[in-house]
């Protein structure tokens, strides 16, 4: 068994049967073939910043370490071809230092470039889909590589085709980004609205986003975490009006289809759960949507805490929060909502999905 703790940001103690770093497509294929030959499940990992290990993983973890960035341009656009193992934040920083703008709102999001399409990472008014040109995918069962354009990726809020049709056995090997030379700042979220759109620079936005994030999100090296534990829930306009009757200042974001997105962190905060702790897991004091490994938390501690948060919010607001974080059991990913509702972690865990 090999220790997984350094390979995921919750830093929960868990082992894997084997951990293999793949620096080339050939190494990826070999690692996959090895897992098949040994009849072991395989799990792809970038930087493990959206993962909760419930237990030891009895299989082969394959780390995407495909590196390299290629830059091309024409009169209107910059085109970046980025291999999947590149660090997302370093890519953002590199682009800004090279006069290529458009990624600044997505600064300081942990993880690999190849993982960015999977949940369509988003922050401060921008999502991956807004800058995506294409995603290159390797089907490890056939060794065929194919390219999906943005539309084919079926991006949504924390959603894409990579959570569904192209999940098991499909490795994202590279992404293509298309960034306009006619750069316009995106200043619609939080304190960014205070900038003057006529004079603000991409570097100022980058610095401000880093500053806000550092002030409220825990550094995983201090307290292990996986960012927002739950997604922001989308409710019907009727449900929203019902909650609003009792909570005038409820933050909300109307959606195109008439539904309303609520702030899960605000809902949890209203239940006075900041700092609430079960075992070694706690609700972060500065951002209630983040669950942290306060000291030596187990996967079960986090599941029990998530259960308490989900139940308490549901009792007060009638809203069942859905995890954003991916739950990994002994033989692979499991259904996170079912796991939380059973509360017991690995004992009686749902079958792998
Ligand atoms: P991992 O956690 O390693 O993997 C995530 C999933 O993708 C797993 O199911 C894995 O099996 C699969 N996978 C990984 N690589 C590949 C590949 N190459 N091909 C196919 N499947 C693969 N997210 C946001 O959207 N916005 C934020 O603002 C944000 N802030 C965060 C802040 C903190 C402090 C933390 C810890 C996390 C935050 N996140 C945020 C979540 C996380 O950063 C993103 O989900 C990120 O894209 C995960 O990248 P990763 O490389 O760590 O993926
Ligand atoms: N709020 C509270 N109390 C809290 C936390 C939040 O009242 O403890 C309120 C805030 O005051 C604000 C609202 O809730 O009015 C939203 O909070 P915030 O701006 O911090 O953003 P969020 O909705 O909690 C989302 C993403 C983050 C992303 C930020 C910035 C999700 C699930 N989370 O968080 O993404 O960085 O917006 O765009 O959509 C992640 O996905 O891991 C992640 C960190």
pLDDT tens per residue across span 48-94: 999 999 999 999 999 999 999 999 999 999 999 999 999 999 999 99
Ligand 2 atom closest to Cα of residue 157 = 39
How many residues are present in the chain? 353
Q: What would the pLDDT profile of 177-221 be if each residue is shown by its tens digit?
A: 999 999 999 999 989 999 999 999 999 999 999 999 999 999 999
Residues 50 and 324 sit within 8 Å (Cβ to Cβ) = yes
Q: Are 166 and 141 in contact (CB under 8 A)?
A: no
- Ligand 2: residue whose CA is nearest its atom 9: 266
User: Residue 174: exposed, middle, or buried by beta-carbon count in 10 A (0-12, 13-18, 19+)?
Assistant: buried
Tokens of 169: 């056995």
C-alpha span between 331 and 312 (Å, rounded):
30
Q: What is the mean pLDDT of residues 132-153?
A: 98
Evaluate: CB of 49 within 6 angstroms of ligand 1.
Answer: yes
Q: Does residue 210's CB lie within 6 angstroms of at least one atom of ligand 2?
A: no
Residue-level pLDDT at 351: 56
The average confidence (pLDDT) of the chain is 96
Query: What are the C-alpha distances in Å from 135 to residues 148, 165, 211, 221?
Result: 5, 14, 30, 30
- Exposure string of 83-110, with b = 16+ CB inside 10 Å and e = fewer, is bbbbbbbebbbbbbeeebbbbbbbbbbb
| Structure confidence at residue 238 (pLDDT) | 96
What values do phi and psi take at 251, rounded to 5? -65, 140
Give CA–CA dist 328/337, Å, rounded.
13
CA of 326 to the centre of ligand 1 (A): 9
Task: State the pLDDT at residue 82.
Answer: 98
Q: Which residues contact 222 (CB under 8 A, 6 or more apart)?
A: none
Ligand 1 center to residue 118 CA distance, Å?
Answer: 8
352 pLDDT band (50/70/90 cuts)?
low
Q: Is the pLDDT of residue 122 over 50?
A: yes
105 — phi, psi (to 5°)? -70, -15
Ligand with minimal distance to 82 CA: 1
Radius of gyration (C-alpha) of the chain in whole angstroms: 20
Residue 343 clears pLDDT 70, i.e. is over it: no
pLDDT at 128: 98
Q: Say if ligand 2 is within 6 A of residue 227 CB.
A: yes
User: In the chain, pLDDT over 70 holds for what percent of residues?
Assistant: 97
Mean pLDDT of 165-180: 97
Paired residues of 136 in beta bridges:
147, 174
Query: By three-state DSSP, how is residue 13 classified?
Result: coil
- Residue in 29, 74, 65 with CA at minimum distance from that of residue 46: 65
To 5 degrees, how large is the angle CA 182–CA 187–CA 189? Answer: 145
């Amino acid at each position: 068994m090999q220790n997984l703790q350094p390979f995921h940001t919750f830093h929960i103690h868990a082992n894997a049967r084997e951990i293999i770093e793949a620096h080339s497509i050939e190494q990826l294929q070999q690692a996959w073939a090895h897992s098949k030959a040994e009849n072991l499940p395989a799990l792809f990992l970038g930087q493990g910043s959206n993962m909760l290990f419930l237990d030891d993983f009895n299989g082969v973890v394959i780390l995407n370490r495909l590196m390299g960035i290629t830059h091309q341009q024409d009169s209107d656009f910059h085109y970046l071809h980025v291999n999947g193992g590149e660090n997302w934040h370093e890519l953002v920083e590199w682009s800004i230092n090279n006069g290529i703008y458009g990624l600044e709102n997505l600064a300081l999001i942990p993880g690999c470039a190849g993982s960015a399409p999977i949940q369509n990472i988003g922050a401060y008014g921008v999502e991956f889909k807004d800058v995506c040109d294409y995603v290159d995918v390797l089907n490890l069962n056939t060794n065929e590589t194919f390219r999906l354009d943005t539309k084919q990726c079926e991006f949504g809020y924390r959603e894409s085709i990579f959570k569904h049709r192209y999940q098991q056995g499909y490795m994202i090997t590279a992404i293509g980004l298309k960034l306009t030379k006619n750069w316009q700042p995106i200043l619609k979220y939080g304190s960014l609205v205070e900038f003057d759109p006529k004079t603000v620079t991409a570097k100022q936005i980058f610095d401000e986003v880093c500053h806000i994030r550092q002030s409220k999100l825990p550094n995983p090296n201090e307290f292990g975490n996986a960012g927002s534990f739950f997604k922001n829930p989308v409710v019907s306009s009727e449900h929203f009006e019902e909650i609003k009757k009792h909570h005038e200042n409820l933050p909300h974001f109307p959606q195109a289809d008439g539904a309303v997105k609520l702030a899960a962190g605000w809902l949890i905060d209203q239940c006075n759960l900041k700092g609430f702790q079960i075992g070694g897991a706690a609700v972060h004091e500065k951002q209630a949507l983040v669950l942290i490994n306060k000291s030596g938390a187990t996967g079960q501690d986090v599941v029990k805490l998530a259960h308490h948060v989900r139940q308490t919010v549901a009792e007060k607001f009638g809203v069942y929060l859905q995890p954003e974080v991916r739950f990994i059991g002994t033989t692979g990913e499991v259904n996170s909502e079912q796991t939380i509702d059973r509360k017991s972690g690995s004992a009686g865990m749902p079958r792998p999905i």
